[in-house]
Structure 1
Amino acid sequence: MNTYTRTHLAFSMLLSIAGLSLPLGAQAADRMAGKMDTDGDGKVSAAEHAVAAKAMFERMDADKDGYVTAAEMDASHAAMKKDGQATDSPMSSADKIKAVDRDGDGKISATEHEAGSKSMFGKMDGDMDGYVTAAEMEAGHKATMGGKK
């Protein structure tokens, strides 16, 4: 797998983990940013993004062993879909895990997830101001998912 493909897969997987793999239009991006924007300033800071990513990892880690497997990710996504919080992702959970599984053990650790989340935030922060707006989230989704809605 080349570097571009691995980066693309990692970004796609982390958008999905963050709940951004749903058909993301402007309204959906606004809702997602609003959930992460805990101080209500209309944008998501790196710290707010990290808190949301950590919460998502903890939610997916059903057995609380510090790792997320494809089965755990599938179950988490199914629960989110049932609650109306997500739709089908174009990537399988196994592929999402491969994208950020640096040690190749077939699961992602909290450390791998955190590193991937930080990288994703940097890629979404188009103007490099240290914050991600709903528009930047939508643009990141379009770039990653080929503009599909």
Structure 2
Amino acid sequence: MKSATRHTMLLMGLVGLWASAFAAGHDPAKGGKFASMDSDGDGQVSAAEHVAGAKKMFTDMDSDMDGQVSAAEMDAARHDKAGAKPAMSSADKIKKLDTDGDGRLSASEHAAGSDKMFKAGDSNGDGQLTSAEMQAVHDREMAQK
């Protein structure tokens, strides 16, 4: 029953995300991570939108739905359409956020890392991320090992 409930919640979340993206005129498959997080289509990602996007990202990566993301799950979830080698391996990304040192990423570790990146990226302190701010903080964090 627990698995059925998780699947139902996941499906409802995905339907809601796609519906809001469609209503806002965004196609996350074409617009990337920023467009999929900008659910109201205002060209900025609020803290609440960022939290929702991070939760969705974690759920998408957690393929076995055990509440943990391994490097293998993260690798499988990556969609690098350009075919370029990622700046940082999945294992290194996990090491940056893995506070308990178990080699896997929990939802709370992922949320804390996402919150840290949001705050670091909000360069003007307005509580919103522009596409440029999000890209800059992502590039900066992924360059650090």
TM-score by length of 1: 0.69
**Does residue 132 of structure 1 match 2:133?**
no
Indicate the percent of aligned positions where both proteins have the same amino acid: 53
Instruction: Name 1:9's counterpart in structure 2.
Output: none
Q: Which has the higher contact order (CA 8 A, sep 6+)?
A: 1
Residue 41 of structure 1 corresponds to 42
Partner of 1:68: 69
Alignment equivalent of 1:95, drawn from 77, 92, 97: 92
Report if aligned partners of 1:57, 1:113 keep a CA contact under 8 Å in 2. yes
RMSD (Å), alpha carbons = 2.0
How has the CA–CA distance of structure 1 residues 128 and 68 changed in structure 2, closer, same or farther, with 3 Å as cutoff?
same
Which whole-Å deviations, capped at 9, do the CAs of 1:91-144 have from their partners, x for residues lacking one?
Answer: 111111111000001101000000100010000100011000012123324434
Indicate the SS of the match to 1:62.
coil
Secondary structure of 2:120 counterpart: helix
Equivalent position SS for 1:105: coil
1:31 positional shift: 4.7
With 33-42 and 84-93 compared, the bigger mean Cα shift is at: 84-93
Q: How do 1:1-149 residues align onto structure 2 when only pairs under 5 Å count? A: 31-77=32-78, 80-81=79-80, 84=81, 87-144=84-141
Partner of 2:15: none
- 2 CA distance for matches of 1:110 and 1:41? 28
Judge conservation of contact 1:32–1:134 (CA < 8 Å) in 2.
no
Name stretches of at least 5 consecutive residues in structure 1 with no aligned partner.
Answer: 1-29
Extract structure 1 runs of 4+ deviating beyond 3 A. Answer: 141-146
- In structure 2, runs of 5+ residues without a counterpart are 1-30
**TM-score, normalising length from structure 2?**
0.70
Measured after TM superposition, the shift of residue 36 of structure 1 is: 1.1
Aligned-partner Cα distance in 1 for 2:109–2:52? 15
User: How far 1:42 sits from its partner (Å)?
Assistant: 1.3
Per-residue CA deviations over 1:50-89 (Å, capped at 9, x if unaligned) read 1111111001101000000011111111xx23xx388431
Secondary structure of the residue aligned to 1:41 is coil
Greater Rg over alpha carbons, structure: 2
